[in-house]
Amino acid sequence: MMRHGYHMGLGFYGSYILIFLLLIISVLIFLVLKSKPSLNSFIIRLLDILKEEYASGALTADEFIERKSIIEDIKYSNSYTPILIERYAKCEITTKEFLNIKNEIESNNYNASICEELAKGKLSYDKFKLKISGGQMNEKQ
């Protein structure tokens, strides 16, 4: 049926609709790709260290997965925490020790030298707790 020239398609506007649909699809693809979190170089370096520790047999598969997820998801607000995270990636401390020290460092209850000693491992968490319970530790002034 001919319809006498009516409703013969979209004519010139058909290409505009196609361009509009392609534009919407490209914006959606861009938003999906942009929303993927990218790891910074520090985290990538820590994960490489962790992989080396796993390859050397210092970690089991479960420990590797646990440490990897903690390192990838960690958020910190203290300048000493990256030092602590690096020690954790090198398997110098356990997960429990890491979380305890991280909480103490980020609580901002202690002066910078104490936080630095805890982060670098110069002061163990157990000795820190003994000094705190004995009242020998200087609180933040």
Where do the structural domains in the chain lie, given as residue ranges? Answer: 3-35, 43-134
Of the pLDDT bands very low, low, confident and very high (cuts 50, 70, 90), residue 2 is low
pTM of the model: 0.67
Distance in angstroms (rounded) separating the CA atoms of residues 28 and 97: 43
- Residue 35 clears pLDDT 80, i.e. is over it: no
Of the pLDDT bands very low, low, confident and very high (cuts 50, 70, 90), residue 34 is confident
Of the pLDDT bands very low, low, confident and very high (cuts 50, 70, 90), residue 36 is low
More reliable by pLDDT, 12 or 49: 49
Distance in angstroms (rounded) separating the CA atoms of residues 41 and 30: 23
In tens, the pLDDT along 75-98 reads: 888 889 999 999 999 999 999 999
- Residue 1 clears pLDDT 60, i.e. is over it: no
Phi then psi dihedrals of residue 135, to 5 deg: 75, 15
CA distances from 27 to 17, 23, 24, 33, 51 (A): 15, 6, 5, 10, 36
The two three-digit tokens of residue 97, written as one number: 């020790």
- Residue 6 clears pLDDT 60, i.e. is over it: yes
